[in-house]
Amino acid sequence: MKSKIKAMIHPIRMRIIQALLDGKEMTAGEIAETLQDIPQASLYRHINALLKEEILTVVSENRIRGTVEKVFSLSATLENATEKEMEEASREDHFNYFFSFLMGLLGEYEEYLQEEIINMREDGVSFRQCSVYLSDEEFMALMKDIGGKLMAAMKNEPSKNRRLRTIANVVIPSKKNKEK
């Protein structure tokens, strides 16, 4: 797998990237406050992996009582680099990216099922599939609408009345329609 995409596909790293969307700049401590369910040692390991692949960049350093606190943001070249990697990826690479994505979801679902008390209806657990006929223009409008709503929701800060939820989006086109 290509290195940037391979580094990003991990569920914890996806969440770190999500925390830094929209040009946010945060210290590791601030990221830890946002992602409170991730152990600190694990969080630092994933931040370092993202730094190594130049997905994150250090935008400034604060001196605090003899130590240096780094401030991170997403790399300015990230979108172009990953887009280029996706275009150059082989079919096997794409399969591996998708497989890693699915395994991450499966791991999160398994973790949920291990909770002592679960109530799928109250917890909002769902998975479904639907097939729709859309022109390319209708499809792009739908994706833009869904993406806009998800981006707005991703800006929500954690609070006692909010629960972290994973929403996955997969689009798989069928074989091209033959005119009837």
Which CATH number is 37's domain given?
A: 1.10.10.10
Confirm whether 159 is domain-assigned.
no
Q: Residue 115's domain spans which residues?
A: 3-124
Cα separation, 108 vs 66, in Å, equals 39
Helices (H), 9-123: 11-19, 28-34, 40-52, 78-88, 91-113, 120-123
The three-state secondary structure class of 73 is: strand
pTM: 0.68
Confirm whether 168 is domain-assigned.
no
Q: Sort 20 into a burial class: Cβ within 10 Å, 0-12 / 13-18 / 19+.
A: buried
Confirm whether 179 is domain-assigned.
no
Q: Nearest-CA neighbor of 72 among 58, 93, 86? A: 58
Structure tokens at 108: 């999160």
Domain count, the chain: 1
Confirm whether 178 is domain-assigned.
no
Q: What is the pLDDT along the chain (180 residues), one digit of tens a residue?
A: 467 788 888 889 988 998 898 788 999 999 999 898 899 999 999 999 999 988 999 999 988 888 889 999 998 877 776 788 888 888 988 888 888 888 888 888 988 999 999 999 999 999 889 999 999 999 999 999 999 999 899 888 888 899 889 898 888 888 776 554
Cα separation, 145 vs 76, in Å, equals 25
Specify whether the CB–CB gap between 74 and 21 falls below 8 A.
yes
Confirm whether 145 is domain-assigned.
no
Structure tokens at 146: 């869904």
The three-state secondary structure class of 9 is: coil
